[in-house]
Amino acid sequence: MNGGVPAVGVGAVVVHEGRVVLIRRGKEPLYGRWIVPGGTVELGETLEQACVRELREETGLEVRPLELLTVFDRIERQGDQVRYHYVIADYLCAWAGGELQAGSDALEAAWASRDELPRFDLPPKALEVVLDALDRAERRRATTS
């Protein structure tokens, strides 16, 4: 994998009108699971540029990154071998245009409210990040209104 070096990835938690964008992965890792859209950073691309590009490719949406939510490692091991290692930076993003549709790497795409999240069975870290993003978006809205 990448010469034994961890890959850098981004996730974009798009919050609009109290709902968040989720995709069902169309490839490994996490094939078939609902998660936050995102992907790997390309050479010469900033983290925020990668968020914008990945969201456009996976969901058809235009977004504006607002703030960094978290940075974490996703490491998958098989015995003593590392199958993959991603360092992922998740951003809170604002919807800036476009219609939600499943694009590359996504089997499905959906808007979900906080109350609807349990039916998507998100991995624990994704759920934690989504809930944090919804809380932060609510605080931002409260301070600007």
Q: Which one of 42, 76, 108, 116 is the catalytic residue? A: 108
Q: Tell me the average pLDDT of the chain.
A: 93
CATH topology of domain 2-144: Nucleoside Triphosphate Pyrophosphohydrolase (3.90.79)
- Taking the model in full, what pTM does it have? 0.91
pLDDT at 3 (0 to 100):
60
Instruction: Identify whether 108 is a catalytic site residue.
Output: yes
Amino acid 123: pLDDT: 94
pLDDT for 11 equals 96
Mean pLDDT of 72-84: 91
In the 3-class helix/strand/coil scheme, how is the chain assigned residue by residue? CHHHCCEEEEEEEEEECCEEEEEEECCCCCCCCEECCEEECCCCCCHHHHHHHHHHHHHCCEEEEEEEEEEEEEEEEECCEEEEEEEEEEEEEEEEECCCCCCCCEEEEEEEEHHHHHHHCCCHHHHHHHHHHHHHHHHHHHHHC
Answer with the residue of higher pLDDT: 142 or 91: 91
**pLDDT, average across residues 119-141:** 95
- Mean pLDDT over residues 96-103, rounded? 96
